[in-house]
Structure 1
Amino acid sequence: MTRAEFPLLSGFLYEAIFIPEGAAPPPRTVLLSPPLRDYVAGFGSRRDDRALVAEAAGRVVGAVWVRCGAGFGRVAEGVPELAVALDPACRGRGVGTRLLRAMLRSLADEGYPAVSLSVQKANPAVRLYRRLGFRVVREHPEEYVMVCVLA
């Protein structure tokens, strides 16, 4: 991801919000809440900020990014938390899997011991994360915190 593309992360963060079937999507202003804002505010300014994108037909259709902070899936100092999202029209085509695998390889190559994420239990992406080696380390009533050990 180029620095010029960093502003796209807000839109992808909105797409990363799991909306159960039949539920109304939240207003975009939800991105202004401190817990969500931390995933994208000032992206690129922290030492551990990393992002990759998927492109199709000359436009960015997906993103995966990590940063160390105080997000919902934080597990330990030095373990970045991951977020991933795709344009809805690109879901179910393996794009997210390729993005995630590329990020996991990159983080392992850079010496990170692990990466974490939070995901709603009802989100079908839980199956993908399990296939890629993520394991539940903490459970809340509606979400999992998962970790993939990289070393």
Structure 2
Amino acid sequence: MTTFTIRSITEQDISFLWDMLYESIYVSEGEEPASRDMINQPLISKYVEGWGRNGDIGYIAVNDLGQSIGSITIRYFNKDNKGYGYVNDETPELGMAIRSEYRGKGIGTELLKTLLEQAKLKGINTISLSVDPNNSAMKLYKRFGFKQVGMEGTSITMIVNL
């Protein structure tokens, strides 16, 4: 069993957030992963660029060796700078990734539970996300009450009411 703790993101975690941004890009079974340079494209880099601005909330899962193994974030976007899961200016968009060797061990569940609890305490009413319909994380999101509200390209936009 993997033992881990969850803590708030600090400035020292920014490079790990870039790693997790790359990890979050869904790759279908048997497909070649995208080039890491992809995270430098403005439509993708905006999820980490300038992290720590007003409204940014995030957590890191750390294993018992002190290694960061997963992250979850929410960030606000607006109609002039939409994220892939944008629904409105008042709804932050969720991003989550777990290092591949740690997936399926309950880490995503704990990260999501922590983030949703804290968001609710901060008065956030809804959170959105964008996910490929073939991504196994779909089951996790549905378990926490996320519902499909749209489709953007090949990804599903989901929302949860807190």
Alignment of 1:115-126 (within 5 A): 115-126=127-138
TM-score normalised to structure 2 length = 0.89
State the one-letter code of the partner of 2:59: L
2:35 is the counterpart of 1:48: no
Tell me how many residue pairs correspond in the alignment. Answer: 149
Q: What is the distance in 2 between the residues matched to 1:141 and 1:59?
A: 35
Q: RMSD value over aligned CA atoms?
A: 0.9
Query: What displacement does 1:2 show?
Result: 1.2
SS at match of 1:108: helix
Structure-2 change in CA distance of 1:68 and 1:61 (3 Å): same
2:99 corresponds to 1:87: yes
Structure 1 gap segments, 5+ residues each: none
State the match for 1:127 in structure 2.
139
Runs of 4+ residues deviating >4 angstroms: none
Q: Is the 8 A contact 2:146 2:159 kept in 1?
A: yes
**Corresponding position of 1:24:** 32
Cα separation, 1, equivalents of 2:40 and 2:130: 19
Aligned match for 1:66, one of 62, 74, 94: 74
SS in 1 for 2:160: strand
**Structure 1 equivalent of residue 155 of structure 2:** 143
Task: Confirm or deny: 8 A CA contact 2:22 2:36 kept in the other structure.
Answer: yes
Q: Residue in 2 aligned with 1:114?
A: 126
Stretches of structure 2 lacking an aligned partner (at least 5 in a row)? 1-8
TM-score, normalised via structure 1 length: 0.96
Distance 1:142 1:77 in 2: 22
